[in-house]
Structure 1
Amino acid sequence: MFLNESVKVFGGSANPELVKKICGYLGVTPGGATIRRFPDGEKFVKIDDNVRGKDCFIVQSTCTPVDGNLMELLIMIDTLKRASANRITAVIPYYGYARQDRKDDGRVPITAKLVANLLTAAGATRVLGIDLHARQLEGFFDIPVDHLMAEPVMVKYLRDKKIQKPVIVSPDVGNVKTASRYVSHIGADLAIVHKKRLNGKDVHSENIIGSVEGKNVVMVDDMISTAGTICSAAKLVKKMGANKVIAGATHGLFCGPAVERIQESYIDEVFVTDTIPLREDVRKGINVTVLSVAELLGESIKRVHRNESISSLLLS
C-alpha cells in the first residue's frame, strides 16, 4: 500500500472505471460517496467516510454531460470542505471548457477562467489535470496546478509498436511543439500540415511542410472532437504518398460526426487514453486502442500527498 489512512480518494460518476484503476494502483479502497438526483433533477452528494483532517482527492472528468459532471465535482468539493477535510485536490483528467480560453470575438466569455474560479470558490486547494489544451490555463487558477501530460503513456505505446519509417505529422501549426517532442522521443521525422478552419466543425488542410512519401504517419493531438482536423490531414498525407496513418489523442471526445468521419477517412488506427470513458458506439465503429493514465495519475496523487516532485513523471 502506497498511502496511509490519512488519504481518501473519491470518484465522481463521470469515469468510475478509471477511479477503480487509480485506487488499484495505490492499493486503497475508493472513498464512499452517495450520489443521486432529487426528483427535480438537482444533484445530491453525501460523503460516507470520515474525512476530518484527511488529504482528499476527487477524480472527476468534466466530459459529457459536461455541466452535470462539473456541478457534481463542485458539490463534492463543497461537501468535503464542510466535512473539515484538510486538503482537497480536484483530479480532473479531462478539463471541460478548456478551449474557451480567450476572447476571440466581441461579447464572448472566457469560460476556462470561470470554471477555474468556480473550483477555487467551491473549496479546492489544488488541481491535478492532464493536457489542459493550453499551458496558460495554469495561470487561470489562484491555487497550485499540477499539469501532467499523457506523453509518457503514448510514447511508450508508439515505441512498443516499432513503427517502420515513422514521420510525426503535426495536424496544425499550433501543435508543432508537441509534435517536435514526439519526434525526439521515438526517433522520427517531422512534417507540418497547414490547415484552414472553415467553421466550428469543418477544416480544410491546404498543404504540408516536410516529406511523408513512403512513410508511416503518426499524428498526435491533445483531443479528438469532431475529427475534422485529423481526417482532413490524413487525406492530405495520403495524397502526398504516405503509407499507414495512425492518429492519437489524449482525450477522445468523438463528438457529432467524428465516428463516421474516421470510418470514411484514410486513418488506419486511432489511439486515445481513458481520461474520458469510451462510448460503445465508438468502440464498435472504429479501430481504436485505449491506453490507461491510471498509473500516471495514481503516482501523481501519491507524490502530491507526500509533497514530492512530480517533474520526473514528465518526459524531458
Structure 2
Amino acid sequence: MRQTQIFSGLSHPALVEGICDRLGQRPGKAELRKFSNGETSVQIQSSVRDQDVFIVQSGSSKINDNVMELLIMISACKGGSSKSITAVMPYFPYSRQSKKKSHRGAITARMIANLLHVAGVNHVITIDLHASQMQGFFKCPVDNLVAEPLLARWIRNNVPNWRDTVVVSKNPGGTKRVTSLADALKLSFGIVTTDRRRPGRGEGLSLQGSAIFERLGLDGTYETDGLIEEEFDAEAGIAPAETVKVTSNEDAAEDAAEDAEDEADEKKDGPVRGRGRATSAARRLNGNAVNAVPSSPLVKSTRAESFISEDGQDSPRKRLMRTVTAPSASHSPADPTADEYTDERARDVIHGRLVHGHIVDDDHPSPALSAVSFKNRPPRSSNSDDDEPPEHMLNSMMSTCSVEEPELAQPMGGTHDAGDTSEAEEEDLKNPELETTVTLVGNVRDRPVCIVDDMIDKSGSWIAAAETVVKRGGATKVYCMATHGLFGGDCLEEMEECECIERIVVTNSFPIPEDKKARCSKLTIIPVESLLAEAIRRNHHGESMSQLFLHGW
C-alpha cells in the first residue's frame, strides 16, 4: 500500500511481521529504548509526512511500558506531520476497569481513551473489548472487531459432531457473547453460574431485628406469654375435634346468649375472663356469614367440637370457631390440564458443590464451614428442652427474614453486576473458607461443550465450569475458547493438568511466551493477522468494515 507506514511497538513484534507479510510491505523503522531510570525513548526513523500511520501495540506482561510506548509513538508521528494516525490495539489495556466499583475507584479505561486522544490518535482498531460500551469513551471512531468468525470456523473444522455442540458461558456476564456464537452456528447454549453455598449463609446473616424470629423466640431475645386461644382452651377444657359443622341461625342465637353471659362473668371475675370475651367476639364475627359460601375454596370456617353430652346434644359452652386452610384440590390422572404448566426444561438445571474450586460429591465434608458455623453458633440454654428447627427450614427463613452483613453488600449500592462477576468469582473459588454452589442451565449430556469468553486470565472459573459440565452434566469433551489468552501466573499449567479440558483455544492477539507454549500440549492458537491486515487495508482505502463482522469473509 502506498502512502502508508506500519510501526510496531515492543509488545508483539511477531504479530506486526505477520500483518506486514499479508499486506506486502515492511514495517516502518523506529527505535525504542529505555534510559537507565526506566524512561521510554522513541525515535521515528522513517518519513511519515502526509501518510497514513498505523501503530500496532497490544498488551503484554509489561502493560504500563506498552501504553507509554504507544502514546509517545503517536505524539512523535503527529509531530512528523502524518496525515492520520490509527492505533491498532488487538488487546485494549485496562479494559476490565471500565466502570466504578467503589466510591473512590477510577474508570481507568476512560483515562486511557483520553490519553490517546490527547496524544493525537485519529482512529482506533481493536478486537473484542471487554465491554462494547467502552467505545463511548473515545472522541474518535473505534472499530471493535470480533473474533467470533474465527472461533466459529475452528469449531466447524476441528470439533467432531460439531452440530451437537453446546456453547456454554461460564458466568452471566458472557451470556450475550455465547448466544451470538450459538445463533451463528445454530447450536444450543447454556450457562454456568456460581454463588456462595446457601447452607453457609447463616454465618453472614443477622437474626436481630427480625419480627418473625422474635415471635418464634429462636434468637433468645423474646419470650412469648403464650397464645390467647391456647390459654382459653386449657381453661375451658376444650379438646380439638375433626368434624366440620356449618353455622346456622340457632347457633348464632346461642352465640349471642354466650356473649351476654361472658360480659356478666367478666364484670364479676375481673380481667381473667377478658380472654373469653375476645374469643367470643371472634366467634361472633365468624358467625355473621350464615349459610354463606366462602369466596375462596381454600378457606373454610370450621367449628372445633369438644365433648358431646350423653343425650347427643352439643354443649354450647364448649364450642370454638376457628379458621383453617383446606388442602388444595389434586388433579385426577385423567385430567388433561393437570400437566399444562409443567416445564420439562426444569430438568436441564443441575446443581453442584465447589470446594477449593473443584466439583465434589454432595456428601463431601466442608471442614472450614463447619468450624466457622460451630464457632459463631450461640450457646444454648441448659434448661431448654425444645429441639432446634431443621437446618433447611432455618436457612430458608433466614434468607427471607434477615439481612446480609454490610461487607457483603455492593459498595456503590444496588445488586451485583453480571459483567463484573469474574474477579469476585475467582476470589471466592480460591478462598479455602468458602464453599460455592454451581448451577448448570442447559442439557449437555453426551455432547461436546465449548466454554466461551473474551479472555483467559485465571484458571479457577474455567476449571470449575469444565468439571461441572463433565462430572455433573455428562458432557463428552470440553473446549475452552477465548479471544485473548492472558494466562496470568500458573493459569495455563493448571488448565493443562485438568482432565476435563480437551483443548484450550485462543487467538494470538496477546503475546504468549514461547516457554509456556512448549509446556502446554492442549493449547491451540488461532492467528488474527489476516483479520487485522484486512482491517488496515479497508481503513486505508476507505472501504466498509461491515464485511469483517460476517462469518463468510
Q: TM-score interval w.r.t. the shorter chain?
A: over 0.9
- How far residue 72 of structure 1 moved from its aligned partner, in angstroms, is 0.6
Structure 1 residues 200 and 176, CA gap change in structure 2 (3 angstroms): closer
Residue type of the alignment partner of 1:180: T
- How far residue 202 of structure 1 moved from its aligned partner, in angstroms, is 4.5
Partner of 2:449: 217
Distance 1:251 1:118 in 2: 23
Q: Any idea what SS the aligned residue of 1:147 has?
A: strand
Partner of 2:47: 50
Asked if structure 2 preserves the Cα contact closer than 8 Å seen for 1:149 and 1:314, the reply is yes
Distance 1:262 1:28 in 2: 39
- Describe the superposition over 1:34-61 as per-residue Cα deviations: whole angstroms up to 9, x where unpaired: 1111122211111110001110000000
- Describe the superposition over 1:89-115 as per-residue Cα deviations: whole angstroms up to 9, x where unpaired: 000000110010111212010000000
Distance 2:34 2:536 in 1: 29
Asked if structure 1 preserves the Cα contact closer than 8 Å seen for 2:508 and 2:525, the reply is yes
Q: Any idea what SS the aligned residue of 1:155 has?
A: helix
- How far residue 183 of structure 1 moved from its aligned partner, in angstroms, is 1.3
Which structure carries more strand by proportion?
1
Q: Determine whether 1:298 maps to 2:533.
A: yes
Distance 2:425 2:478 in 1: 25
Distance 2:134 2:505 in 1: 25
Asked if structure 2 preserves the Cα contact closer than 8 Å seen for 1:227 and 1:258, the reply is yes
Q: Determine whether 1:21 maps to 2:27.
A: no
Stretch deviating more after TM superposition (161-170 or 299-308)? 161-170
Structure number with greater Rg is: 2
Structure 1 residues 25 and 9, CA gap change in structure 2 (3 angstroms): same
Asked if structure 1 preserves the Cα contact closer than 8 Å seen for 2:191 and 2:441, the reply is yes
- Pick aligned residue for 2:517 from 283, 297, 301: 283
Asked if structure 1 preserves the Cα contact closer than 8 Å seen for 2:194 and 2:425, the reply is no
Stretch deviating more after TM superposition (10-19 or 271-280)? 271-280
Aligned residue-pair number:
313
- How far residue 171 of structure 1 moved from its aligned partner, in angstroms, is 1.1
Alignment of 1:1-316 (within 5 A): 3-4=1-2, 6-164=3-161, 165-196=164-195, 198=424, 201-203=427-429, 206-239=438-471, 240-265=473-498, 266-286=500-520, 287-315=522-550
Distance 1:241 1:152 in 2: 28
Partner of 2:404: none
Distance 1:215 1:76 in 2: 49
Q: Any idea what SS the aligned residue of 2:444 has?
A: coil
Asked if structure 2 preserves the Cα contact closer than 8 Å seen for 1:63 and 1:94, the reply is no
- How far residue 233 of structure 1 moved from its aligned partner, in angstroms, is 0.5
- How far residue 301 of structure 1 moved from its aligned partner, in angstroms, is 0.4
Residue type of the alignment partner of 1:170: S
Structure 1 residues 103 and 146, CA gap change in structure 2 (3 angstroms): same
Structure 1 residues 205 and 167, CA gap change in structure 2 (3 angstroms): farther
Distance 1:163 1:267 in 2: 15
Distance 1:152 1:256 in 2: 29
Residue type of the alignment partner of 1:33: A
Distance 1:184 1:97 in 2: 30
Unaligned runs of 5+ in 2: 196-420, 430-435
Asked if structure 2 preserves the Cα contact closer than 8 Å seen for 1:57 and 1:88, the reply is yes
Residue type of the alignment partner of 2:23: L
- How far residue 162 of structure 1 moved from its aligned partner, in angstroms, is 4.2
Asked if structure 1 preserves the Cα contact closer than 8 Å seen for 2:425 and 2:461, the reply is no
Distance 1:181 1:236 in 2: 23
Asked if structure 2 preserves the Cα contact closer than 8 Å seen for 1:227 and 1:262, the reply is yes
Q: Any idea what SS the aligned residue of 1:29 has?
A: coil
Residue type of the alignment partner of 1:186: L
Q: Any idea what SS the aligned residue of 1:178 has?
A: helix
Unaligned runs of 5+ in 1: none
Q: Any idea what SS the aligned residue of 1:207 has?
A: strand
Distance 1:106 1:280 in 2: 41
Q: Any idea what SS the aligned residue of 1:109 has?
A: coil
Asked if structure 2 preserves the Cα contact closer than 8 Å seen for 1:254 and 1:282, the reply is no
Distance 1:254 1:231 in 2: 13
- How far residue 254 of structure 1 moved from its aligned partner, in angstroms, is 0.3
Asked if structure 2 preserves the Cα contact closer than 8 Å seen for 1:195 and 1:205, the reply is yes
Residue type of the alignment partner of 1:217: V
Which structure carries more helix by proportion?
2
Distance 1:66 1:138 in 2: 20
Q: Any idea what SS the aligned residue of 1:91 has?
A: strand
Q: Any idea what SS the aligned residue of 1:36 has?
A: strand
Distance 1:202 1:263 in 2: 22
Distance 2:545 2:116 in 1: 22
Greater relative contact order (Cα < 8 A, sep 6+): 2
Asked if structure 2 preserves the Cα contact closer than 8 Å seen for 1:81 and 1:123, the reply is yes
